[in-house]
């Protein structure tokens, strides 16, 4: 059995995520960070006070959608790594260009739209929906389930583990947010001390780009947590994951 396709404690999930990212940095960086770099830079630029609120909202929406879609190739690459295979970057991206790509992308957009709507109506329902639909992308990629069925499947996987999923998912994203905020703060202080001729929007853009290499960690944590829940509920193993990848 793979060291990663098993029931894991929260601490093991975080440690394994860090180990996997460190050992497979190049592949995971290429499939997740590089495609998001322009979106992260744009968001960092507008969030620092440049442009209208409408542009900021658009930049944020594109970054969220891009982040969710980037979980597609990272799920494939990480699954290969966990099975001891050499990561196939081409196959990872081909999922977004095949005949079924429309259903896959549509499922991702549906989960983003529902979570966003819940957040706009009231913060708590939005957070609940984020936890319920956390596994939509791994479900869509590995189980080839789409639409409302994928959302229902994600919710069923997390049933009985709501607070565990909530804590692990939000802690992983909180780490990236805090590091990004600290980098931005350091850059602002340096800008003031050495009197760099950089505008705040440019500082925000640089801060986001510098923090972006940490962005794959929450996605890796999410996929490992997906394995963990399937092992606990369905006796999932390496053979089953290998079969899912061959579909």
What Rg do the C-alpha atoms of the chain give, in angstroms?
A: 18
Please write the tens of the pLDDT for every residue from 147-175. Answer: 899 999 999 999 999 999 999 999 998 88
| pLDDT at residue 99 in the model | 47
Question: Given a cut of 50, is residue 239 above it in pLDDT?
Answer: yes
| pLDDT at residue 64 in the model | 79
Choose among 150, 130, 111: nearest CA to 222. 130
Contacts of 218 (CB under 8 A, 6+ apart): 169, 172, 173, 175, 176
Residue 146 has phi, psi (to 5 degrees) of: -130, 170
Q: What is the mean pLDDT of the chain?
A: 83
Residue ranges of the domains in the chain? 10-246
pLDDT-wise least confident of 2-6, 162-166, 209-213: 209-213
Q: How large is the average pLDDT for residues 177-189? A: 77
Residue predicted with more confidence, 211 or 201: 211
Task: Output the pTM of the full model.
Answer: 0.86
Question: Given a cut of 80, is residue 191 above it in pLDDT?
Answer: no
Helix (H) or strand (E) holding 212: none
């Amino acid at each position: 059995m793979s060291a990663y396709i098993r029931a894991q404690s929260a601490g093991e999930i975080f440690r394994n995520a860090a180990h996997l990212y460190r050992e497979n940095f190049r592949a995971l960086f290429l499939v997740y960070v590089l495609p998001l770099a322009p979106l992260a830079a744009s968001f960092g630029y507008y969030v620092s006070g440049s442009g209208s609120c409408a542009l900021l909202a658009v930049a944020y929406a594109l970054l969220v959608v891009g982040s969710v879609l980037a979980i597609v190739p990272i799920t494939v690459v990480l699954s290969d790594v966990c099975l001891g295979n050499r990561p196939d970057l081409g196959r990872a991206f081909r999922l977004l260009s095949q005949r079924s790509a429309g259903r896959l992308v549509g499922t991702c957009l549906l989960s983003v739209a529902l979570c966003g709507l819940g957040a706009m109506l009231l913060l708590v329902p939005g957070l609940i929906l984020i936890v319920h639909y956390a596994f939509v992308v791994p479900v869509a990629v590995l189980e080839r389930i789409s639409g409302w069925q994928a959302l229902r499947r994600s919710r069923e996987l997390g049933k009985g583990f709501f607070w565990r999923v909530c804590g692990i998912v939000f802690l992983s994203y909180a780490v990236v947010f805090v590091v990004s905020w600290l980098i931005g703060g350091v850059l602002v202080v340096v800008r003031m001390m050495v009197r760099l001729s950089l505008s705040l929007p440019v500082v925000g853009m640089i801060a986001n780009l510098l923090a972006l290499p940490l962005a794959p960690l929450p996605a890796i944590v999410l996929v490992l947590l997906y394995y963990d829940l399937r092992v606990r509920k369905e006796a999932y193993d390496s053979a089953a994951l290998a079969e899912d990848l061959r579909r």
